[in-house]
Amino acid sequence: MKQVLILGATSSIARAIASEFAREGVNLFLGGRDLAELEHMAADLDIRHGIQAHYGSVDAEDFAAHKDFLENATRTLGEIDGVVFAIGYLGEQPRESADPAAALKIMNINLSAAISLLAPIANILEEQGHGFIMGLSSVAGDRARPSNYVYGTAKGGLTLYLDGLRNRLDRQGVKVITLKLGFVDTEMTYGKRGLFLVASPEQVAKSACQTLQKPSGVYYIPRFWRMIMLVIRLIPDSVFKRLNL
């Protein structure tokens, strides 16, 4: 593994993952919206770890531009050994519930953009017969809660999409890893109420990279969220809809 593309690279979790890869000598292509921040991030990784860190602009909602971005990334790297999809947008549930456009924004950024960007990469990896796709999903997709069901719907869809890619690509030698994240201390969750057992981006990044040594599959980070979500999924609907979640 020498060349990795990171989508949504300026998020806190993606930054930490990029640092983990860079420490292992992996060359990177960083994709995100803020070119100035990407340039700073790439230069820092170059200096700290002696790798080649490239970058390019990609907007999750600008689907027409995704093809050119991916062509630039693959041309620059030469060969892609893996991709990390770390693009995400939480939004605000009250607004999403009342405004279809706001809800569609959540769906487009978290799910439609994943399909638009990962489908061409999946074809490349399938043809070369090796590599990995790592997608950052969420425990929110395991069961729809009143407080964030639009976001949960998008992440649930992302999980299913990655399931499909895994079932298609595993026999071709391509690993597909789905990371279901619990609460993480990031800009996206800052100030949100009701958070508990919050992990740091660095903890998540270390666990995420460790999953690449494991078989293709779905991994909860931190691991205890698997049991938490099992309990939540087993709560009867008649009880669950009365809970303040």
- CATH label of the domain that carries residue 111: 3.40.50.720
> What does the pLDDT look like over 117-170, one tens digit per residue?
999 999 999 999 999 999 999 999 999 888 889 999 999 999 999 999 999 999
Q: In this structure, which amino acid lies at residue 210?
A: Q
Does the residue 38 lie in any domain? yes
Residue 179 lies in a domain: yes
> How far, CA to CA in Å, does 184 sit from each of 46, 51, 69, 79, 172?
27, 28, 29, 32, 33
So what's the pLDDT on residue 99? 87
| 169-185 CB burial, b ≥16 within 10 A, e <16 | beeeebbbbbbbbbbbb
| 93 in any annotated domain | yes
Give me the number of domains the chain comprises. 1
Q: Which of 140, 20, 158 is nearest to 87 (CA)?
A: 158
- Domain membership of residue 245 (yes or no) is no
| Any domain includes 194 | yes
Cα atoms in the 13 Å half-sphere on the side-chain side of 89: 19
pLDDT at 197: 60
Residue 144 maps to a domain = yes
24 occurs within a structural domain = yes
**pLDDT at res. 186:** 61
136, β-bridge pairs: 179
pLDDT in tens, the chain (245 residues): 699 999 999 999 999 999 999 999 999 999 999 999 999 999 999 999 999 999 999 999 999 999 999 999 999 999 899 999 999 998 887 777 778 999 999 999 999 999 999 999 999 999 999 999 999 999 999 998 888 899 999 999 999 999 999 999 999 999 999 999 998 866 554 445 445 566 888 999 999 999 999 999 999 999 999 999 999 999 999 898 888 77
Could you tell me where the beta strands, DSSP code E, fall in 33-163?
Answer: 53-57, 82-85, 131-138
Note the pLDDT tens digit of each residue in 43-53.
999 999 999 99
Residue 164 maps to a domain:
yes
Q: Pick the closest to residue 37 from 152, 165, 240, 187 (CA basis).
A: 187
Which pTM value belongs to this model? 0.92
Q: How many CB atoms lie within 10 A of CB 144?
A: 16
Active-site residues: which are they? 151
Q: Residue 98's domain spans which residues?
A: 3-240
What is the C-alpha separation between 180 and 62, in angstroms, rounded? 26
